[in-house]
Structure 1
Amino acid sequence: MKILLTGKNGQVGFELAKKLSTLGEVIATDREELDLANPDAIRAFIDQTKPDIIINPAAYTAVDKAESEPDLAYKINVTAPEVLAEKASELNIPLVHFSTDYVFDGLKKEAYVETDPTNPQSVYGKTKHDGEEKIRAHAKHVILRTSWVFGSHGNNFLKTILRLILDKESLNIVGDQWGSPASSSMLADVTLKIVDTILKNKNFNDFGTYHLTNEGETNWYAYASFIASEAMKLNLKVKCAPNQIHSILTSEYPTAAERPLNSRLNTDKIKKTFVLELPHWESEVKKVLREVI
């Protein structure tokens, strides 16, 4: 069994590279081995390796930078998935692809379900949305939309807050954007179960789009305060305690790309289909903090 994995140095790819080896030979790639901005290189690599399944967590994820680099974001988030889907169709193999809450505009009051209309508001969101559409042209696909990814590897909000509370005496954090943090470890565990299910069941027909985050919801301000509080419990000597973190509005912190105010994703579909119990985001944050402090 050959598993082609992109983005092995990203947050999710790093965890997947460690865990997928229980299912078969993992061909784990990064930009050096597989340049996703080069369609011909993708085709040649797949022709050479002939995988049994493709897993694509790699993406252009620099949300603000994408506003000034739309062509590169398009190549990696739209053209590359299109080529992966074409090759998967040729080989008649499954394709697992990761997407984002940014395909929505964030104006819904409740958590988004998979069938809700999309309306991306940024270059990043639009390219991820268009990438999803390219993936859907291939019958055997699983699209996993997630949000607010964090883990012990790579750059993320949790590690940024840890750095800032050591350096700053106070912080202003946006408090009107709501979502559910998703740990890279959980995402890898669930992906492992999905891949195992697909490979073991020749009649698997639950392909499609799924939402996947940890349980619970929060906002960036409450999330930062929780990180600081838990870090102090682990005896981290901080300059900025939770009571020195202040909530501000999105309008007070302008960014190049627009962020959805509501990033909450309803995970009922994936829990029911794959019989999952998802851990709460707070327990996953505690676990990661123990790893990095």
Structure 2
Amino acid sequence: MKILVTGATGQVGWEATRSVSVLGNAVAGDRSVVDLSHPETLGSTLDTIRPDVIVNAAAYTAVDRAEEEEALANRINGEAVGAIGRWARAHNALVIHYSTDYVFDGTELSYTERDATCPLNAYGRSKLLGEQALACSGCDYLTFRTTWVYASRGKNFLLTMLRLASERETLHVVADQFGAPTSARMIADLTAHVIVKATGERLGGTFESGLYNLTAEGRTSWHGFATSIIDAARELPGGGRIKTTSVEPIPTAAYATPATRPANSSLDGSAFDRRFGLNRPQWQVSMMQVLRDALRA
């Protein structure tokens, strides 16, 4: 089985390449190999690689910049996803695609896959376009909505907090946005299990495409996440660099950004659990794994 991972140098893509490599021939498709900003080239690119499974971890993720570059975000997160789906349909390939909590407006405490979407920003609109394009392509697919993704590499909230905590005694962090911090490693490891199950179902003629929420269990605020990161890091080897003694809560209004974020990003993952027979860990468990890796770096 040949598995192409797009966005292979990103947080989820890097972890997914590692996780799926035990299943077959994993092709790490970074932007030099698969460029989603040019959807018209994807057919010939995929013709050359000929994957059986496409894990689409590539995306336009600059949430604030997307407010000024919505056309580019739509091309990468929307049009390109549709092109991948159409190729997959023509060649009987399976597509695993990742979406986001930002397709919702955050007015509910928790969202299921059946809830109405209402993106607040350009990034969310572009990701919703991708969901719709993939579903309309007619290929075999699984779309996973996730939230608050972080890893021990790249640019993310956990690494930012560790850096700031080594420089400042006091941090100010938004306390009125809620979600489930979800590690890229957890997403990738569960994806590998999903591919095994989905491949068996396709061979047996029982596979059904669908959209599922894939996040860690539990719920916290950005302030709660930051506090947990710093408290845990202080107790781990390498945590001696922590200077922060106080993490102060602030409202969203005190930290203005070009793109509006949903106040509630909690996604109900129970349908994922039932569909794939897997258990998603509490967000604190994954956080400790990533912290140990980050502090060793």
- For the superposition of Structure 1 and Structure 2, which TM-score range results when normalised by the shorter chain? over 0.9
Q: Alignment partner for residue 291 of structure 1, among 290, 293, 296?
A: 293
Distance 2:2 2:292 in 1: 34
User: 1:123: which partner in 2?
Assistant: 122
Distance 1:19 1:250 in 2: 36
Please state how far the C-alpha of 1:287 moved relative to its aligned partner: 1.2
| Structure 1 unmatched runs, 5+ | none
Distance 1:129 1:156 in 2: 22
User: 2:82: which partner in 1?
Assistant: 82
Distance 2:45 2:125 in 1: 27
Aligned positions of 1:240-259 closer than 5 A? 240-241=244-245, 244-259=246-261
User: 1:207: which partner in 2?
Assistant: 209
Q: Per-residue CA shift, 1:187-220, capped at 9, x if unaligned?
A: 0111001111111232232320000111111000
Change (3 A) 1:4 1:237: closer
User: 1:36: which partner in 2?
Assistant: 36
Please state how far the C-alpha of 1:178 moved relative to its aligned partner: 0.4
Distance 2:158 2:206 in 1: 37
Given the alignment of the two structures, is residue 225 of structure 1 paired with residue 221 of structure 2, yes or no? no
Distance 1:286 1:52 in 2: 34
Given the alignment of the two structures, is residue 94 of structure 1 paired with residue 94 of structure 2, yes or no? yes
Distance 2:240 2:284 in 1: 18
User: 1:238: which partner in 2?
Assistant: 242
Given the alignment of the two structures, is residue 262 of structure 1 paired with residue 255 of structure 2, yes or no? no
Q: Is 1:7–1:31's contact at 8 Å kept on the other side of the alignment?
A: yes
Please state how far the C-alpha of 1:141 moved relative to its aligned partner: 1.1
Q: Is 1:180–1:217's contact at 8 Å kept on the other side of the alignment?
A: yes
Q: Per-residue CA shift, 1:11-67, capped at 9, x if unaligned?
A: 111011112111111121111111111123211111112111111011000100111
What is the percentage of aligned positions where both structures have the same residue? 40
TM-score between the two structures when normalised by the length of structure 1: 0.97
Given the alignment of the two structures, is residue 173 of structure 1 paired with residue 177 of structure 2, yes or no? no
Q: Is 2:140–2:208's contact at 8 Å kept on the other side of the alignment?
A: no
User: 2:161: which partner in 1?
Assistant: 161
The one-letter code matched in structure 2 to 1:216 is: G
Aligned-residue CA RMSD in angstroms? 1.0
Distance 1:149 1:36 in 2: 21
Please state how far the C-alpha of 1:278 moved relative to its aligned partner: 1.1
- SS of the residue 1:96 aligns to: strand
Distance 1:18 1:135 in 2: 25
Please state how far the C-alpha of 1:268 moved relative to its aligned partner: 0.3
Q: Is 2:174–2:255's contact at 8 Å kept on the other side of the alignment?
A: yes
The one-letter code matched in structure 2 to 1:39 is: P
User: 1:191: which partner in 2?
Assistant: 191
User: 1:14: which partner in 2?
Assistant: 14
TM-score between the two structures when normalised by the length of structure 2: 0.95
Aligned positions of 1:49-60 closer than 5 A? 49-60=49-60
The one-letter code matched in structure 1 to 2:13 is: G
Distance 2:294 2:177 in 1: 26
Please state how far the C-alpha of 1:139 moved relative to its aligned partner: 4.1
Q: Is 2:105–2:262's contact at 8 Å kept on the other side of the alignment?
A: yes
Please state how far the C-alpha of 1:4 moved relative to its aligned partner: 1.4
- SS of the residue 1:167 aligns to: coil
Q: Is 2:85–2:139's contact at 8 Å kept on the other side of the alignment?
A: no
Equivalenced residues, count: 290
The one-letter code matched in structure 2 to 1:119 is: C
